[in-house]
Amino acid sequence: MTDRYAVVGNPVEHSRSPTIHALFAEQTGQVLRYERLLAPLDGFETCLRAFAAAGAKGCNITVPFKFDAFELCSHRTERAQLGGAVNTLRFDADGWTGDNTDGAGLVNDIQKNTGRPLAGLQVLLVGAGGASAGALGALIAAGPARITVVNRTLDKAQALVASHAHLGVPLTAATLAEAPAAQDIVINATSTSLSGAAAPVGAHVLKPGALALDMMYGPKAQAFLDWAASHGAEPRDGLGMLVEQAAEAFFFWRGVRPDTAPVLKALRATL
Ligand code: NDP
């Protein structure tokens, strides 16, 4: 039987993951099938158990189930544990293992694809939801000089910073209005782009030539990208992060690391 995988979410029809994993499989000669699975908002666990019982090997988890997936795992990788959320599940013989590849995806995109080593830089992470929680550990591991987490709800930024404070890099939590000036890298991990808004922080956060990355991709990211470019920053959307996190998941399942560059190029051509 062909090995089966899926992306499970609600909504899920917009997901590019089936295309990405089909391209990875073709490139690496792996034989697998990757589909979309729409889980009812009140039926995530039932949906997942049915998929695993049908012989599937694993799945990606997307909005809004990453925290539920974390609870359902019998084993979790260190990075999933740290972020408290799971975006990749592997159905092993001795239980489900949960991983979180979002942070590695983000860091790989920044360091490998834009050629900016994070070490020694001032990083501003805007947002303290699931995406930020998944990303912060990997950002810290890359060794920036400081990371400031700003959020509309200050409590959430403070909680996120507190849960990562033992990792060694100076971390600060603040409100959106208190966002520091002249940052080397600004990452928008809020969902504000969903409504076509530009950036939830002022342009003073951008050092000239800064990298300004929105985790969103497609037409909805355009307002943020225009805002960044008009203030002298290098704009970047979340498509590279998406492909890189998928490559990490592919490796987690198959033990094979695909080349992401041609896949990102092919995907960008379809936007
Ligand atoms: P969550 O719902 O968990 O968090 C949303 C965040 O956005 C919170 O910090 C929230 O602040 C903030 N926010 C929402 N509305 C506003 C507003 N009007 N003004 C200011 N802040 C606001 O979402 P996720 O963290 O899961 O996802 C965030 C984004 O990242 C989404 O756009 C998602 O598509 C993208 N993403 C992209 C990935 C990729 O591979 N490219 C991977 C994962 C996510 P508050 O706490 O105050 O509510």
Contact criterion met (CB below 8 Å) for 139 and 118: yes
The residue type found at 187 is I
Chain-centroid distance, C-alpha 121: 20
pLDDT at 203: 98
Residue 99's H or E segment, with its range, is: strand 95-99
Count CB neighbours of 66 within 10 A.
Answer: 26
Q: Is 247 annotated as a binding residue?
A: no
ipTM over 0.85: yes
Rounded CA gap, 91 and 198, in Å? Answer: 40
DSSP symbol at 210: E
38 beta partners? 9
Output the tens digit of pLDDT for each of the chain's 271 residues. Answer: 899 999 999 999 999 999 999 999 999 999 999 999 999 999 999 999 999 999 999 999 999 999 999 999 999 999 999 999 999 999 999 999 999 999 999 999 999 999 999 999 999 999 999 899 999 999 999 999 999 999 999 999 999 999 999 999 999 999 999 999 999 999 999 999 888 888 999 999 999 999 999 999 999 999 999 999 999 999 999 999 999 999 999 999 999 999 999 999 999 999 8
Whether 124 and 53 map to the same domain: the answer is no
Cβ neighbors of 192 (< 8 A, separation 6 or more) are 199, 200, 224
pLDDT at 225: 97
Whether 254 and 137 map to the same domain: the answer is no
Whether 53 and 147 map to the same domain: the answer is no
Whether 107 and 211 map to the same domain: the answer is yes
* Structural domains counted in the chain: 2
d(CA 26, ligand 1 centre) in Å = 32
Contact criterion met (CB below 8 Å) for 193 and 167: no
Whether 141 and 246 map to the same domain: the answer is no
Domain extent for 11: 3-99+241-268
Whether 157 and 249 map to the same domain: the answer is no
Whether 151 and 178 map to the same domain: the answer is yes
pLDDT at 1: 86
Whether 111 and 233 map to the same domain: the answer is yes
CATH number at residue 138: 3.40.50.720
The residue type found at 243 is V
CATH number at residue 73: 3.40.50.10860
Whether 130 and 47 map to the same domain: the answer is no
Determine what percent of the chain falls in helix, strand and coil, rounding each to the nearest 5: 45, 25, 30
Q: Is 30 annotated as a binding residue?
A: no
Cβ neighbors of 5 (< 8 A, separation 6 or more) are 21, 32, 33, 34, 35, 56, 57, 58, 59, 60, 253
pLDDT at 188: 98
Q: 83 in ligand 1 pocket by Cβ < 6 Å?
A: no
Whether 142 and 225 map to the same domain: the answer is yes
Q: Which residue in 66, 207, 220, 265 is the catalytic one?
A: 66
Whether 117 and 226 map to the same domain: the answer is yes
Q: Is 34 annotated as a binding residue?
A: no
Rounded CA gap, 1 and 175, in Å? Answer: 52
Rounded CA gap, 271 and 269, in Å? Answer: 6
Whether 117 and 181 map to the same domain: the answer is yes
What is the crossing angle of helices 154-164 and 130-141, to 10°? 40
Token reading at 237 = 């959307």
Rounded CA gap, 88 and 109, in Å? Answer: 18
pLDDT at 195: 87
Rounded CA gap, 211 and 111, in Å? Answer: 11
Active site residue 220: no
pLDDT at 271: 83
